[in-house]
Amino acid sequence: MMNLLLGMLLLPQAALAHGGVDFFDDIGEEVSTGLGGGWLRVFPNTSGEGWHLLWAAGGGYSLLPMTDDLEVEDFGRIELTGFDYLIDHSITRCPQGGFLHVASANLDEFNDSAYAFRYDDDFSLLSSEIIEERVSSRKHNDLPLVCTPELNATAFGTSSNGDSVIVELDDNGSPLSEHPLVGMNTEGGTLLVEPETGDLLVFGMPHNGSDLNISRLDSDWNVVETISDTLLDPNIRSYWPQAVLRVGDHYIIAFMARDEEAGFSSDVGNVWLAVLNFELGVEHLVRLTDYEPSTGAMRPGLARKGDTLLVTVDREVEPRIFSIELNSVAFGFDLNGDTGGLWDTGIGDSDGGCNCSSGESNLFSYYLGLMGLMLIRRKTK
């Protein structure tokens, strides 16, 4: 097992650089799952202890239980899709129940096809839909995903200059409509619906740049604003902000970065975490890993249960996990006993409250009412 450097020098520098406090109380060592494959994603088990662990192997997508101590026994794995030729994956919990999963495939050319799968809370397959097949003009790899009561959607790249298209999906995963995103790179990015406004946030990074770009779209698909922030030294390439969690009135983003001259192989690099405030300004930045070329990690994921944050990565064709203890004071509310909230993992708290900060309205009924209004607003326009 490789020890994770705790970054005693990096943490204070990152905090001072952005005028913030340390949002992470403790960063654990890298834990190997012992599995072969990639696209590791985990979710809290809301019906019991531990976590659901999902990863890609053999062209499918599989499920195993994982304990709270991050122990995994590869016995009785469940293959979810019934497919054996899938390539890239994205899966998210839906606040209205169940999970939405999208994946790409190579039929005639590289990642020329995409599919959607809908599961119930126990990961039983409810539907399997073709989004599109053999469309070589679109980049279906590293696809983002959002599932909320008012919007189910994924996105594909459409050109080399960063243009993309949002594909809106119905409750089963069938395509409903398309919306172009000019100048927005969604490959390896993230989609997130802001619960207060119903706006869609599109997180992305240019292929050969270092900026984090966040575009806000209203329910008519108009770009309300675009925010750009250079997170690291411009000579360091930042890429793949593939995981975003809303925690209280903050956002945690996991992304990759590397020195292109350092000799990293393929698309691997080091994993970084950024904490953004409600106005989408960077408050904290920390390098999670200190891998030396040529090997590194890729495809970061995030999951939270209470004050425990799990960061998942793929490293040398083996899924790995880091456990981080969050600073409740920095995030502005008590994380203990909170299972993740509707805003990040798509699940409600055990006491029925929402994952809000104490400075906001934290009534679950208010949240549901707001979601209902946004649903009407989006569906009627």
Output the pLDDT for position 4. Answer: 33
Confidence of residue 196 (pLDDT cuts 50, 70, 90): confident
Could you give all domains of the chain from N- to C-terminal order, each with its CATH number?
34-230+304-379 (2.115.10)
Q: How confident is the model at residue 359 (pLDDT cuts 50, 70, 90)?
A: very low
d(CA 192, CA 150): 12
Is-contact 25 326, C-beta < 8 A? yes
Residues 6+ apart with CB under 8 A from 267: 239, 240, 256, 298
The region that residue 183 occupies, defined by phi over 0 for left and psi between -120 and 50 for alpha, beta otherwise, is left
**Residue 262 confidence (pLDDT):** 92
Separation of first and last alpha carbons in the chain? 53
Give the span between the Cα atoms of 31 and 70, in whole angstroms: 8
The model's pLDDT over 18-45, given as tens digits with 9 standing for 90+, comes to 445 799 999 999 999 999 999 999 999 9
Q: Is the pLDDT of residue 338 over 60?
A: no
| CB atoms closer than 10 angstroms to residue 133 | 13
Interval 243-300: pLDDT, tens: 999 998 899 999 999 999 999 988 999 999 999 999 999 999 999 999 999 999 999 9
Name the band, by pLDDT with cuts 50, 70 and 90, for residue 14.
Answer: very low
The pTM assigned to this predicted structure is 0.86
Tokens of 240: 């793949």
pLDDT band at 337 (very low <50, low <70, confident <90, very high): low
Q: Write out the two tokens for 35.
A: 């599995």
